[in-house]
Homo-oligomer: A and B are copies of this chain.
Amino acid sequence: MEEPIQDLAPRISDCLKVIYDMQERGQKVSTSAVSERLGVSDATVTMLFKDFAAAGWVEHAPYRGVRLTPLGERKAMEVIRHHRLLELYLARELGYSWDKVHDEADKLEHVISEEFEDKLDALLGYPTADPHGDPIPSKDGVIPLRTGIPLPQLSQGQKALILRVSDQDPEKLRYLGQLSLYPETHVEVIEQAPFGGPLRIRVGEKPRQIEHMLGVELAEHIIVTPIEAGEMANK
């Protein structure tokens, strides 16, 4: 229960990660949803839920899913810190494209030592976000909060900065990369077709801007923060 996170079986830390991820998105954490994401049977997840409840990581209401306790959240933070540090490392130091970092980090995170993590952290300059803009928790489990809104909620004509692109599907990431929709990029909604229709957006800063069409499906995963006109002038 108080064992270091490295010693958790891979399935256990993977499951913790999925629970946290779903909960962060405000979704209900059900047996079937988790089993699908982990690629195992429902029966397996039921057992994991029971084990987690016994360890005090979740509250488990049988037949209606699971919710992380504060302890469980702390454990999840450790797993996620490992994962995101590795993602950033793979992208920045080894030149991985952002659609490939997730899978490789998934394998590495189960074997690296505390010392390895510390050295990565230092090498990367104690970073606070991974290549998708997802925040990297600090060593003591504090997650740097940067709130934003999904791109489709941006009012027309409002300029904004991309904070996160929180999708894991390599295909989609590759596509978004082609449109230069990375974190820290400037973006503006030119118009949005009604009833959840596609968006017309302008990407990039003044000299080199490009327009694209983008489905809401994808746009929902792009989290942005509006920027004042004043801030633009500085550039």
Residue ranges of A at the interface with B (Cβ–Cβ < 8 Å): 93-96, 100, 104, 107-108, 110-113, 115-116, 119-120, 123
Contacts and interface: CB of A to CB of B under 8 A. Distances in A.
A112 B123 contact: no
A128 B177 CA distance: 36
A98 to B, nearest CB: 14
A199 to B, nearest CB: 34
A112 B119 CA distance: 18
B94 A123 contact: yes
B96 A107 contact: no
Contacts of A110: 111
Contacts of A104: 112-113, 115-116
A115 to B, nearest CB: 8
A94 B111 contact: no
Contacts of A113: 104, 107
